[in-house]
Structure 1
Amino acid sequence: MPEQPTDTDTATATNQPLRIAVIGAGPAGIYASDILTKSTDPAAAGVTVDIFDRLPTPYGLIRYGVAPDHPRIKQIIVALHRVMENPRIQFFGNVSVGTDIKLDELRQYYDAVIVATGAERDRDLPIPGIDLERSHGAADFVAFYDSHPDRPQTWDLSGAKEVAVIGVGNVGLDVARILARTGDELLYTEIPDHVHAVLANSAVTDIHMFARRGPAQAKFTPVELRELDHSPNVQVVVDPQGMEFDEASEQAITSAKALRMVVDVLSEWALRDADPNVGRRIHIHFLENPVEVLGADGAVVGLRTERMELDGNGGVVGTGTHTDWPIQAIYRAVGYRSEPISDLPFDERTLVVPNEAGRVITSSGEPLPGVYATGWIKRGPVGLIGHTKSDAAETVGHLLSDAPTLPRAPHRSRDDVIAMLASKGLQVTDFAGWDRLDEHERGLGAADQHPRERRKVTNRAEMTDIARRGSGA
């Protein structure tokens, strides 16, 4: 095991500026870095931050989790770019902490580590038949249409006319909307040719969204919901049987303006009939709980749901009445989950790094000195960008309050880090490399037959090569 910093190191180095490593270059990690470098706390004076990401590019789920037809949300990258230009913040891409470099090894170069690796895998849905062919996780489909370089770049939409989306959060809405849109409708976005080809050859005509609870418990936002109905090729129809409200529902609607807006839109859609002349339809079914995926010859042929009823307290109970829906493919959008990092505590029940307000704790409940967490790896995949900022502020606040007692790393310069990574033979990318790749993708988009802001490069090796050109690497 690498040599650990000692109490003597702490005593002799506390007057030196903090060196912080952040694992994960998504919004959570970048916001934490920004807060650290802008803090007026005396402990943050002169702090420098190095951000590591296993991808050769920064921005995490903003680049690889936001639907391509959401350019407004992707504009968050403009603000994140300004943060990354800070000379006290360095980006090390194409470095997987836990694999390429172990956590204990990293601690030899940094006084504290903030883990901000987020959540990008699908949570399990433990019902019979969920593993049948043509049963997919929403995160896998998102990774496909966002062209994640480490995920499969093939998909088949040619064999299913009616598909199910299980879950009615914003991810479920994204999946339903992309499934319903034609390939040509997305030619203005950054999608590459292979994604366009899959959408252009889609056989899907009807998408059925299922929620086990009622409309007053829906988790999506009004803007996301309205966007379902923006395409002239798509009609949204809400099953009126699920539009039920109890006392708890009415209280929730009264106390939340956004929820009232959601319910108003759903109520309007529940009054209209499906138009057979519209090419594709999205059907929303509330109070229908998926209990089994039906199969034949190893593939999905249907979905069985149980009718639920409101219990008056914001929950639901089963009625014992079942319906079989003729479905040929299923997309489960029941939430994302984080993945463990080697040598870092991980709670397999809650699927987060165990922590107390950002301080990582061991299995015995003791703080792990100098190790912190922020973002979805800290609190689970809930909340919007605003929550991420306040969450990062909490974690950074505790790190700075701990600063006087943190063991100080023996190696304290970026040159030491660069030399260590080079000794491992890693093809590291930096932030100037991201700007090169960004310029290249924008050039591809401008030169396309259908000009758009950018066209993504999807191959990791090609991305890395472009990013490292002219860097002297």
Structure 2
Amino acid sequence: MTRPVRVAIVGAGPAGIYAADALLKSEAAQDPGVSIDLFERMPAPFGLIRYGVAPDHPRIKGIVQALHQVLDKPQLRLFGNVDYPNDIDLDDLRSFYDAVIFSTGADADRALDIPGSDLDGSHGAAEFVSWYDGHPDVARTWPLEAEKVAVLGVGNVALDVARILAKTADELLPTEIPANVYEGLKANKALEVHVFGRRGPAQAKFSPMELRELDHSPNIEVIVNPEDIEYDAGSIETRRGNKQANMVASTLENWAIRDVGDRPHKLFLHFFESPSQILGEDGRVVGLRTERTELDGTGNVKGTGNFTDWDVQSVYRAVGYYSQELPKLPFDVASGTVPHAAGRVVEGGEHMPSVYVTGWIKRGPIGLIGHTKGDANETVACLLEDRAAGRLPAPVQPEPEAVTAFLEERGVRYTTREGWHRLDAHEKALGAEQGRERIKVVEREAMLDASEPRS
């Protein structure tokens, strides 16, 4: 093969860009070379970093700088605002590329199977995150009338949701939130936010730094009930073997023994409370029922049969993300992933030639952003192994200009890497006018307009 290996990556979030980076660092990048096209349904790249990370986490958003270094490599092209499968499908991609890697992530809410989940006022955390992160495909307003709110889950997304609900709009104004989000949060009536976990402090999935950040706000009083600080043999073993779990438990212990202060917004962290029903009247949330649990010696819990009804008017379900099924690919509904063997997509026990997955669509929505590097390396190693063994069918139209002609013939208004740089500069200019680093553009058409060359 004298021409470069042509690879399409569907999804330009961290997982997709890490896969591109692994390809660019491989021996194949030297001989015969690699040519990579990133396809992204949003007009802008970076996926989870742009639309899934809370705006008051600039440390995490700093990962964008490293992703930019990969995105700007000359062997790579970006095709934004291109939807799989409506604008281009698997058969199309196979006709242009030697291999296709899907890195579409997980942006939907995993279902919580308890009565009342469908009531008005019961929200999926992913929906709320998309709203406050300025996703172009969600509503511009959000109902924030509840004075007492419940958040179900003890992971970092639950922390993000609880923190955004408990902070004031003015605290968040220095971030990149757009005007509609600021106005929405300014009208937020929440004074109490209750976070519920069915297990104990040693089993919480918070990152230590994110947990401690809750207490940094001058407006948020974090409250932990001393009765919720409890450990069994399994919990103690977890603390001894997991530094992060031990740090989280220690932070919670310190909060449980201190006096409650006078900050205006109260954020309660409840443990050993398993949600059993979202209570409603006239189709709206009026409360949450939980069952008290107790440790069973292994770090797991069992129900006690004792129930509590909590006075809340809104519930946010932060029990996990779920991937969207991809047409023409197999899908495991239970796990929300594409069946694979080390990244090779598997259907009917056989590897689908030239088709691969990486990131959350591969392993499920677990782990931190950096964990996707290991996924990418494994998947790319399999791809290159298949290439070396002659297992990649040759594309019919491998010329780089063939895919651009295809998209233009279909009338797809796609964005490019250069277009992203224009949008990036535009958002920073909007922010500079108000003394802020950036103001995110929300409307898709406005994003596309800002991405085009100035006349």
Indicate the TM-score class for this superposition, using the shorter chain for normalisation: over 0.9
Q: Tell me, yes or no, if structure 1 residue 121 matches structure 2 residue 108.
A: yes
Q: Does 1:257 align with 2:248?
A: no
- Partner of 1:387, secondary structure, is helix
Q: Which amino acid aligns with 2:269?
A: I
1:454 and 2:438 are equivalent in the alignment: yes
Structure 1 position 61, deviation (Å): 0.8
String of CA shifts for 1:366-419, please: whole Å, max 9, x gaps: 110100000000000011133111110000000000002210101011111100
Q: Aligned partners of 1:374, 1:463: CA distance in 2, in Å?
A: 27
Taking a change above 3 Å as real, the CA distance of residues 43 and 398 of structure 1, as seen in their structure-2 partners, is farther
Deviation, 1:17, is 2.2
**In 2, Cα distance between the equivalents of 1:405 and 1:356?**
15
Quote how far apart the aligned CAs of 1:193 are. 1.4
After TM superposition, list the pairs within 5 Å mapping 1:310-389 onto structure 2.
Answer: 310-362=295-347, 364-389=348-373
Tell me the equivalent position of 1:397: 381
1:357 and 1:154, CA in 2 relative to 1: closer, same or farther beyond 3 A?
A: same
Cα distance, 1:65 vs structure 2: 0.7
Find the counterpart in structure 2 of residue 184 from structure 1. 170
Q: Which residue of the other structure, out of 5, 12, 16, is the alignment partner of 1:29?
A: 16
Structure 1 residue 165 and structure 2 residue 151: aligned?
A: yes
Matched, 1:109 2:96: yes
**Structure 2 counterpart of 1:293:** 278
Q: Is the CA contact 2:28–2:34 (under 8 Å) kept in the aligned structure 1?
A: no
On the 8 A contact 2:23/2:29 being kept in 1, the answer is no
Q: Give, as a single letter, the amino acid of the residue that structure 1 aligns with 2:18.
A: Y
1:139 paired with 2:123, answer no
Aligned residues: 453
| Number of the residue aligned with 2:431 | 445
Using structure 2 for the length normalisation, give the TM-score: 0.98
Give 1:45 deviation, angstroms.
3.2
Amino acid at match of 1:181: K
Q: CA shift at 1:240, angstroms?
A: 1.9
DSSP 3-state at the match of 2:425: helix
Contact residue 236 and residue 281 of structure 1 kept, 8 A: yes
The answer as to whether partners of 2:100 and 2:355 remain within 8 angstroms in 1 is yes
Amino acid at match of 1:456: K
Distance between the aligned counterparts of 1:77 and 1:407, measured in 2?
34
Equivalent position amino acid for 1:163 in 2: V
Identity of aligned residues (%): 55
Deviation at residue 470 of structure 1 after TM alignment: 4.2
Q: Is structure 2 residue 5 aligned with structure 1 residue 38?
A: no
User: Is the contact between residue 254 and residue 260 of structure 1 (CA under 8 Å) also seen in structure 2?
Assistant: yes
Is the CA contact 2:10–2:103 (under 8 Å) kept in the aligned structure 1? yes
- Give the alignment partner of residue 413 of structure 1, picking from 351, 376, 399: 399
Alignment deviations for residues 415-446 of structure 1 (CA, whole Å, 9 cap, x no partner): 11100000000001000000000000000000
Instruction: Supply the distance in 2 between the matched residues of 1:168 and 1:152 (Cα, whole angstroms).
Output: 26
Give the distance between the partners of 2:29 and 2:58, measured in 1 at CA. 39
CA contact (8 A) 2:345 2:351 kept: yes
State the 1:42 CA deviation. Answer: 7.7
Note if contact 1:274-1:281 (Cα within 8 Å) is conserved in structure 2. Answer: no
**Distance between the aligned counterparts of 2:289 and 2:159, measured in 1?**
21
**Worse-superposed segment, 185-194 or 19-28:** 185-194
State the distance in 2 between where 1:417 and 1:27 align: 23
Give, in whole Å, the separation in 2 of the partners of 1:177 and 1:386. Answer: 23
Matched, 1:202 2:188: yes
Amino acid at match of 2:40: D
CA distance in 2, matches of 1:179, 1:442: 26
Does the C-alpha gap of structure 1 residues 30 and 185 become closer, same or farther in structure 2, counting only changes over 3 Å?
same
Q: CA deviation at 1:44?
A: 6.1
Asked if 1:303 corresponds to 2:319, the answer is: no
Paired residue secondary structure (1:324): strand
Give the counterpart letter for 1:467 in structure 2.
Answer: S
Contact 1:37–1:44 at 8 Å: present in 2 too?
no
Q: Which residue of structure 2 lines up, in the alignment, with residue 239 of structure 1?
A: 225
Distance across 2 between alignment mates of 1:129 and 1:69: 31
Does residue 284 of structure 1 match 2:294? no
Q: TM-score, normalised by structure 1?
A: 0.94
RMSD: 1.2
What's the counterpart of residue 50 of structure 1?
37
CA contact (8 A) 1:22 1:52 kept: yes
Q: Secondary structure at the match of 1:369?
A: strand
Over residues 151-197 of structure 1, what are the superposed CA-to-partner deviations in whole Å (9 max), with x where a residue is unaligned?
1111021x211100000100000000000000011111001111111
Q: CA deviation at 1:43?
A: 8.8
Distance in 2 separating the partners of 1:196 and 1:360? 42
> Which runs of 5 or more residues in structure 1 are unaligned?
1-13
Please give the secondary structure, in 2, of the residue aligned with 1:319. Answer: strand
245-254 vs 190-199, greater mean Cα deviation: 190-199
Q: Give 1:386's aligned amino acid.
A: G
C-alpha distance in 2 between matches for 1:133 and 1:181: 23
Distance 1:121 1:44 in 2: 40
Q: Does the residue aligned with 1:405 lie in a helix, a strand or coil?
A: coil
